[in-house]
Amino acid sequence: MQRTTSSPPVTDVTPKAPSSATSATAFAASPPAQHAVNVATVAFFFDLDGTLAPLAARPDAVKLPRDTARVLARLFERTNGAIAVVSGRAIDDIDGLLAPLRVPAAGLHGAEIRHAHGGLVRAEGHAADTESVAAMAAPLQALVAQHPGLLLENKGCALALHYRGAPELAGVARDTMRSLADLHADRFSLQPGKLVFELRPRNVSKGRAISTLLNEAPFAGRTPLFAGDDLTDEAGFADVNALGGITIKIGDGESCAHYRLPSPEALTAWLLTLHGDTSPAPPQPSQETDA
């Protein structure tokens, strides 16, 4: 199996991608070795939007497919609970999409973590971040009123400005969010994503959240596997790679993940193979092409 090769970051607002990033879109014919995805020894971590669930025009329109819900429930049972969702959404939103299944979760890019025992821990400074977000929201609400194609999502201690409904406003969205990030650089970072710019607490990341959960039952002692689709998932990929784990990029785009699948539907189909079900091709090592 080949691993991904190196290429540079995409834009000036994108955090530097690890040196093993690639934009390859072709897939090899052979699956990864079965022992590498042994349900008995792997801890599963999943992003939500664009990974478990297809993206939608608005965050509140995202739905978890029924087949995906079923396969997650089976995986939760077979791993004795060693699966978690690691998302930019708040944990309450994660629960709403996965209901009735309730799993350990890291929300808001790791600013809040619900452990396997049910305890919820929020990052230091959460209250102050929430107050700052409320202040930053005012100019963004004015911007959205001026440009109805933009959508502001207030997550409590983070803000997301979506321009999926008006891609031509990417520059306006970027410059506005960058200005706010510069004004609040002591506590917030600018996080680009798929047709979105987000202001999130500075000292959190999906990679740190995964590492935290790996220190406790039922995740401890297992090989981590993380699947994600966006720039927000690269920190998780990098940390899981450093731990000798398995990383799967969903869709196209530069990534330091070792494997790729083309869509959330393909991820669900691959997860079914872990239960002995027949499905389309599992994640394949990326290969760079000139096509």
Query: Could you list the active site residues?
Result: 47
Instruction: Confirm if 257 and 23 have CB atoms less than 8 A apart.
Output: no
From CA 244, how far away is CA 222, in angstroms rounded?
A: 11
Q: Is 112 helix (H, G, I), strand (E, B) or coil?
A: strand
Q: Where are the alpha helices (DSSP H) in 22-146?
A: 66-78, 91-98, 126-146
C-alpha torsion sign, points 10, 13, 19, 20: negative
What is the enclosing helix (H) or strand (E) of 193? strand 188-193
Amino acid residing at 124: E
From CA 127, how far away is CA 31, in angstroms rounded?
A: 46
CA distances from 226 to 48, 148, 223, 260 (A): 11, 35, 10, 11
Q: Is 60 helix (H, G, I), strand (E, B) or coil?
A: helix
C-alpha torsion sign, points 57, 63, 65, 69: positive
From CA 94, how far away is CA 85, in angstroms rounded?
A: 8
Strand order in the sheet with 120-122: 26-27, 284-287, 259-261, 246-250, 223-228, 42-46, 83-86, 105-107, 112-114, 120-122
- Using CB atoms within 10 A of its CB, is residue 236 exposed (0-12), middle (13-18) or buried (19+)? buried
Task: List Cβ neighbours of 221 (8 Å cut-off, separation of 6 or more).
Answer: none
